[in-house]
Amino acid sequence: MTAPRVGVATALGRLMARDLRIALRRSGDSLQPLGFFLVVTTLFPLALDPALSLLRDIAPAALWVGALLSSLLALDLLFRDDGQDGTLEQLALCGQPFPLLLLAKTGVHWLLTGLPLVLVAPLAAIGLGAPYAAMPGILSALLLGTVALSLIGAVGAGLTMSLKRNGSLLALLVLPLAVPVLIFGARATALAIAGEALGAPLYLLAAMAVLALTLTPWALAAAVRIGLE
């Protein structure tokens, strides 16, 4: 391993710019999970009796199950191409801190799949009968929740990276670990829709996002290194 020629910040910046450029050239790929989220949240009113009071009751569940499944679907994009063409191996060998590089990659992944989901969530929420006053609460809960979901999911994606068919196994690995985010996210959203104080679940979501930001990069690096062997 040779000494890196550029500083960590430069390397992270270049990696993120590269990932963003590639993703924007193939923007269809990162829009698919978004379309999936909108379709799933639309299915709930169709499957249920579309009475406004009922929809408002199930809105938190619909939003968060939709967000969880859509983030799971998006994980396929995270390491697939870079694992196949050897980019990840180069990153592992380049001498920069590997956990930080993977954190940057996951950050870009969140920018491309998590953030757009947060931005279209008000649309889905209004469709489910949530009042306008609830939007700041719903948005901040989803903002924190999607960060944690992307990071937890990334570990699962790293572990199953080298497998041929990994769809259902990835779901089995990631979904139990994502349960706390689901519980407090849906709780915060329900409180926001009811117009009550939602500080407590929001702080817990923030704590989980911070915990995921600080701990998962190391697990992620270990998982990806094993997948690269």
Partner 1 sequence: MAWVWFHRFGSPPHFYRLATRLAPWFAWPALVLCLAGLIGGLGFAPADYQQGDGFRIIYVHAPSAWLSLMVYVVMAASAAVGLIWRMNVAHALAASCATIGASFTAVALLTGMLWGRPMWGTYWEWDPRLTSELLLLFLYLGYMGLRNSIDDLGRADRASAVLAIVGVVNVPVIHYSVIWWNSLHQAPSVMRFGEPTMPASMLLPLLAMLAGFTCYFVALLLTRARAEVLRRERSAQWVATVLDVPARSV
Which two tokens mark 20? 């963003």
Answer yes or no whether residue 197 interacts with partner 1 by CB under 8 A.
no
Q: What is the Cα–Cα distance from 10 to 66, expressed in whole angstroms?
A: 36
Q: Choose the binding region for partner 1 from 14-22, 25-33, 121-129, 220-228 (rule: CB under 8 A).
A: 220-228
Among 184, 191, 202, 217, binds partner 1 (CB under 8 A): 184
Number of chain residues interacting with partner 1 (CB under 8 A) = 28
Among 12, 15, 204, 206, binds partner 1 (CB under 8 A): 204
Among 63, 124, 159, 209, binds partner 1 (CB under 8 A): 159
Among 20, 179, 197, 210, binds partner 1 (CB under 8 A): 179
**Cα 22 to Cα 27, 90, 108, 124, distances in angstroms:** 9, 17, 11, 29
Answer yes or no whether residue 11 interacts with partner 1 by CB under 8 A.
no
Helix (H, G, I), strand (E, B) or coil at 152: helix
CB of 195 to partner 1, least distance (A): 21
The burial class, CB within 10 Å (0-12 / 13-18 / 19+), for 181 is buried
Answer yes or no whether residue 169 interacts with partner 1 by CB under 8 A.
yes
SS (H, E, C) 13-73: HHHHHHHHHHHHHCHHHHHHHHHHHHHHHHHHHHHCCCCHHHHHHHHHHHHHHHHHHHHHH
Answer yes or no whether residue 227 interacts with partner 1 by CB under 8 A.
yes
Which two tokens mark 152? 């937890």
Answer yes or no whether residue 172 interacts with partner 1 by CB under 8 A.
yes
Among 40, 144, 206, 208, binds partner 1 (CB under 8 A): 208
Evaluate whether 110 touches 146 at the Cβ level (below 8 Å).
Answer: yes
Q: CB neighbours (10 Å) of residue 68? A: 25
Answer yes or no whether residue 213 interacts with partner 1 by CB under 8 A.
no
Q: With respect to partner 1, which residue has the nearer C-beta, 197 or 211?
A: 211
Answer yes or no whether residue 87 interacts with partner 1 by CB under 8 A.
no
The one-letter amino acid at 227: G
Answer yes or no whether residue 49 interacts with partner 1 by CB under 8 A.
no
- What residues make contact with partner 1 under the rule CB under 8 A? 155, 159-160, 162-163, 166, 169, 172-173, 175-177, 179-180, 183-184, 187, 204, 208, 211, 215-216, 219, 222-223, 226-227, 229
